[in-house]
């Protein structure tokens, strides 16, 4: 499924196809009227010029489709309890539970962390990331638990985002992954981008357009029957980075329904991954702040089962 705001390049293979038929074949999930609106709105171009639906195409020709951003609805405040690990006038750090989406998206505009933040903070959130992501400096996946930074003003947002860009923000995760490691520590340095086979997924892409540097350091905390308990430190923070990097090494995160084995550990209700430590330089005071969050109950329970050999592959 294509996403609003994306720019796609389609290479023409069959010159006998009309433009509207080409789009219908390549842009799955879009209605005929939506495709016609793209063409009539000038969002489909070749060589910088808008194309008509009857345009003659040539084999090998590159057609660019720019999907316009959707109008963003107002975010409704919702009285959802927040586990706040730190707060001052500039920022707060939330310990997000597993199962909570960070920000609203099409088909999911309620029950998110942002809905809760709008209720808790009112208008005291940075506006840099727009209407749907006020205050959100970085994000973690729905089924990943743990610490998340939220900026209350644009000064704080710029300062924290700069630390992320400079790779100086300290982010450590805990995970249970499949299999054993001979080494006690290591680094996965493999660029990531949208999977060409499935645009809902991220994949390791070497020497491919759109791939971005991604580096994950891992440290063995404990070797368990069939699994390993890891501490992981992010040098970069790409979408699904730990999950994809671990799967790439042959050690997918336990419970991961997307990058793990087909037989998913359903009792985990998603990947066994927790953002347990966050360290940053306060954008106003210049002081270093480091926070930690204990392992949540689902994670501790699974570790206990592995220790007592109650869980079998």
pLDDT of residue 1: 43
Which of the following is catalytic: 90, 141, 143, 256? 141
> Average pLDDT of 93-106?
92
Phi-psi region of 205 (alpha: psi -120 to 50; beta: other; left: phi over 0): beta
* Whole-number average pLDDT of the chain: 90
Q: Say what the pTM is.
A: 0.78
Q: How far apart are CA 197 and CA 203, in angstroms?
A: 9
Q: What value does the mean pLDDT take over residues 125-132?
A: 83
User: Which H helix or E strand runs over 246?
Assistant: helix 241-248
Q: Is the pLDDT of residue 209 over 50?
A: yes
Does residue 132 surpass a pLDDT of 90?
Answer: no
Burial of 140 (0-12, 13-18, 19+ CB in 10 A): buried
219 pLDDT above the threshold of 90: yes
Q: Which residue has the higher pLDDT, 7 or 303?
A: 303
pLDDT in the model for residue 2: 46
CA 107, 4, 275, 215: dihedral to nearest 10 degrees?
A: 160
Q: Which helix (H) or strand (E) segment is 235 a member of?
A: none
Q: Domains in the chain, ordered, with CATH?
A: 7-66 (3.10.290.10), 71-166 (3.30.2350.10), 167-313 (3.30.2350.10)
**Where are the extended beta strands (E) located within 136-258?**
145-151, 170-178, 185-189, 192-194, 202-204, 215-224, 227-234
What tens digit of pLDDT does each residue of 155-200 get? 999 999 999 989 999 999 999 999 999 999 999 999 999 898 887 8
Containing H/E element for 33? helix 32-40
Tens digits of per-residue pLDDT, 229-263? 999 999 999 999 999 999 999 999 999 999 999 99
Q: How far apart are CA 134 and CA 149, in angstroms?
A: 12
Active site includes 141? yes
CA distance 236 to 8: 25
Which region among 38-52, 144-158, 297-311 has the lowest average model confidence (pLDDT)? 38-52
């Amino acid at each position: 499924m294509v996403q609003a705001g994306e720019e796609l390049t389609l290479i023409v293979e069959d010159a006998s196809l009309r433009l509207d038929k080409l789009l219908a074949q390549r842009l799955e999930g879009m209605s005929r009227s939506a495709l016609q609106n793209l063409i009539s709105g000038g969002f489909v171009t070749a060589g910088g010029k808008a194309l008509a639906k009857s345009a003659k195409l040539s084999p090998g020709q590159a057609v660019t489709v720019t999907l316009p951003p959707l109008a963003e609805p107002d975010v409704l405040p919702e009285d959802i309890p927040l586990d706040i690990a730190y707060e001052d006038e500039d920022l707060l750090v939330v310990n997000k539970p597993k199962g909570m989406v960070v920000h609203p998206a099409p088909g999911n505009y309620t029950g998110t962390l942002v809905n809760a933040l709008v209720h808790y903070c009112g208008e005291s959130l940075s506006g840099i990331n727009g209407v749907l992501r006020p205050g959100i400096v970085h994000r973690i996946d729905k089924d990943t638990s743990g610490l998340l930074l939220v900026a209350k003003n644009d000064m704080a947002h710029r300062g924290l985002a700069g630390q992320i860009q400079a790779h100086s923000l300290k982010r450590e995760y805990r995970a249970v992954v499949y299999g054993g490691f001979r080494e006690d520590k290591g680094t996965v340095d493999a660029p990531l981008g949208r999977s060409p086979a499935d645009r809902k997924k991220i994949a390791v892409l070497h020497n491919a357009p759109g791939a971005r540097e991604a580096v994950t350091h891992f440290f063995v905390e404990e070797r368990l029957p069939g699994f390993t308990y890891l501490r992981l430190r992010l040098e970069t923070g790409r979408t699904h980075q730990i999950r994809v990097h671990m799967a790439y090494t042959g050690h997918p995160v336990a419970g991961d329904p997307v990058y793990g084995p087909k037989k998913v550990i359903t009792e985990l209700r998603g990947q066994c991954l927790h953002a347990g430590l966050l360290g940053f330089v306060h954008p106003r005071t210049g002081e270093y702040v480091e926070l930690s969050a204990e392992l949540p109950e689902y994670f501790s329970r699974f570790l206990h089962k592995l220790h007592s050999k109650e869980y079998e592959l």
